[in-house]
Amino acid sequence: MLLTPDNLQALWLTFKVAALTTLILLLAGTPLAWWLARSRAWVTRPIGALVALPLVLPPSVLGFYLLVALGPEGPLGRWMLALGLPTLPFTFAGLVVASVFYSLPFMVQPILNSMQALGERPLEAAATLRASPLDTFFSVVLPLCRPGLVTGCIMSFAHTVGEFGVVLMVGGNIPGVTRVVSVQIFDHVEALEYADAHRLAAVMLAFSFSVLLALQVYSARQARKGRA
Amino acid sequence: MSELTTRTFIRVAACAIAVWASCGGATAGEAQVAVAANFAEPIKAIAAVLEKTTGHTLKISTGASGAFYTQIRNGAPFDVFLSADNERPEMLERDGLAQPGTRFTYATGKLVLWSVKADRVDARGEVLRSADLGKVAYANPKTAPYGEAALQVMQRLGLRAAVAPKLVQGESIGQAFAFVKTGNADVGFVALSQVLQGGRLKEGSMWMIPQAHYDVIRQDAVILKKGANNEAAQALVRLLQSPNIKDLIRSYGYDL
């Protein structure tokens, strides 16, 4: 076997974090995108800016704030302890929470774009057929926005896999719990274990290229469907 | 402008340039220094003394010694390396990346078990055996000598397996300290120099780990190939060996 058990463990952990993050983001990001697309309230603007913030914020800033806020002395950490829950840094759950923040714009933005492109017509048509808003959302909006949803999921998953700075700040580098592939590669390099670093890095390169290739093929096919 | 004032002006300007050149050119050198994270506090004070007495300035980078070793092997532009061990400077000598004959021990490190909470860590480290022990922070033993020392302590106390599930790793002793300082780790293995101020414990509680529990942390410094002709680098190395600075280093909790 080319990859050591440690490396396989890191790959499996990375997959688990990314998959769970994507699922949570899909469930939370879709209604959020819908609200941002439809609401006329002024508050959509600051909320929209907050959603996009992880795009420009250095991961170390996000990591630092999460470490301080989620720690036992921090506002959120205290609240967790009061509820009898463990604090989040250095845990798998903490990593997922951090990743949800970190990848949020990568889910919301594509969905929001496709919802904005929808226009009023399909919704008016649904309304004249006496569809309830909820029914319209599930039977009209979501199917029509499928390309946005698919793109959002792929991007969120891939972006979470590529996460490094935030994990380095709040992860604590625990094998099988928070030591994801990117951190594992960093450790290999720092410890001069270049052979291991090469193998894992090659896996990541192949993975990232495949994801982007799949995305290209998918959007090309969607574009053709749109023309047909 | 009359001819006289023009000549005076030229003379004054020439003087000014000469003075500027003698300050800027000859004395104000600069050295890039890679410093083990445990020595982050003392090096700041030492850099201030160096600048005051010689005009030389230091550009300081702090991090894990092992990480610096890798970076220097790959061409990092440091003039001096202050490691947290003696092995890596020796390896750099063997690699031909350090100036032969410049290596010396500038400090002997002390490892402590520390918590930000008062009364948490007892004077004998029994907290490591307590049932309600939370996360235990230490530095990555592959790259940080203090992390390796922490593993030795747990090994020699027969606690390695018991504590293993609670360990969280910082990339350097600086990050291990941050984990404890923010309360995210219950206790942590850190350097004495990180928790002392003016010879006294800054906050929280600590256990001075007996030397028998870990191998001596001999911290060596070495001038690197790039710093061979750097005056600021030479001045720093001379300063580190002067009696006053040795006292200063001791006041941070190191042996010498």
Which structural domain range is residue B243 located in? 28-108+217-251
Evaluate if residue B215 carries a pLDDT over 90: yes
Below-50 pLDDT ranges, chain A? none
Q: Over the stretch A139-171, which tens digit does the pLDDT of each residue have?
A: 999 999 999 999 999 999 999 999 999 999 999
Question: Do residue A73 and residue B183 have CB atoms under 8 angstroms apart?
Answer: yes
Instruction: Determine the pLDDT at residue B6.
Output: 58
Evaluate if residue B26 carries a pLDDT over 70: no
- Residues 6+ positions from A222 with CB-CB distance below 8 Å: A147
Instruction: Determine the pLDDT at residue B74.
Output: 86
Q: What is the CA B198 to chain-centroid distance, rounded?
A: 17
- Give the pLDDT band (50/70/90) at residue B3: low
Report chain B's mean pLDDT, rounded to a whole number.
Answer: 91
The CATH number for B125's domain is: 3.40.190.10
Give domain status of residue B81, yes or no. Answer: yes
The verdict on B142 and B196 lying in the same domain is: yes
Instruction: Determine the pLDDT at residue B27.
Output: 58
Counted domains in chain B:
2
Class of domain A5-38+58-119+145-221: mainly alpha
Identify the closest residue of chain A to B71 by CA–CA distance: A190
Q: How far is A174 from chain B (nearest CA, A)?
A: 6
Instruction: Determine the pLDDT at residue B35.
Output: 96
State in Å, rounded, how far the first CA of chain B is from the last one: 65
- Residues 6+ positions from A136 with CB-CB distance below 8 Å: A123, A126, A127
Q: What's the mean pLDDT in B219-226?
A: 97
Q: What's the mean pLDDT in B3-19?
A: 56
Of A67, A68, A173, the CB nearest to B140: A173
Q: Over the stretch A197-224, which tens digit does the pLDDT of each residue have?
A: 999 999 999 999 999 999 999 989 988 8
Instruction: Determine the pLDDT at residue B158.
Output: 96
- Cα–Cα distance for residue pair B226/A191, rounded to 1 Å: 23
Sheet containing B111-115: order of strands: B167-170, B136-139, B187-191, B111-115, B205-208
Give domain status of residue B45, yes or no. Answer: yes
Strand B217-223 versus strand B80-82 pairing type: antiparallel
Residues of B with CB below 8 A from A172's CB?
A: 135, 137, 168-170, 179, 185
- Which of A60, A90, A184 to substitute to test the interface with B, most B CBs within 10 Å? A90
- Give the pLDDT band (50/70/90) at residue B13: low
| CA neighbor of B95 nearest in space, from B215, B217, B222 | B222
- In a 3-state reduction of DSSP, which class is residue B100? coil
Instruction: Determine the pLDDT at residue B24.
Output: 44
Give domain status of residue B18, yes or no. Answer: no
Q: What is the CA A25 to chain-centroid distance, rounded?
A: 6
State whether residue B91 sits within 8 Å of chain A by CB: no
Q: Over the stretch B165-212, which tens digit does the pLDDT of each residue have?
A: 999 999 999 999 999 999 999 999 999 999 998 889 999 999 999 999
The full set of domain ranges for chain A reads 5-38+58-119+145-221
Give domain status of residue B204, yes or no. Answer: yes
Q: What's the mean pLDDT in B100-104?
A: 95
| CA neighbor of A188 nearest in space, from A101, B242, B185, A180 | A180
Instruction: Determine the pLDDT at residue A223.
Output: 85
Tell me, what DSSP letter sits at residue A139? I
The verdict on B153 and B81 lying in the same domain is: no
Q: How far is A58 from chain B (nearest CA, A)?
A: 18
- Residues 6+ positions from B40 with CB-CB distance below 8 Å: B60, B62, B174, B194
| CA neighbor of B110 nearest in space, from B210, B37, B200 | B210
- Residues 6+ positions from A34 with CB-CB distance below 8 Å: A115, A137, A141
State whether residue B174 sits within 8 Å of chain A by CB: no
Question: Do residue A190 and residue B70 have CB atoms under 8 angstroms apart?
Answer: yes
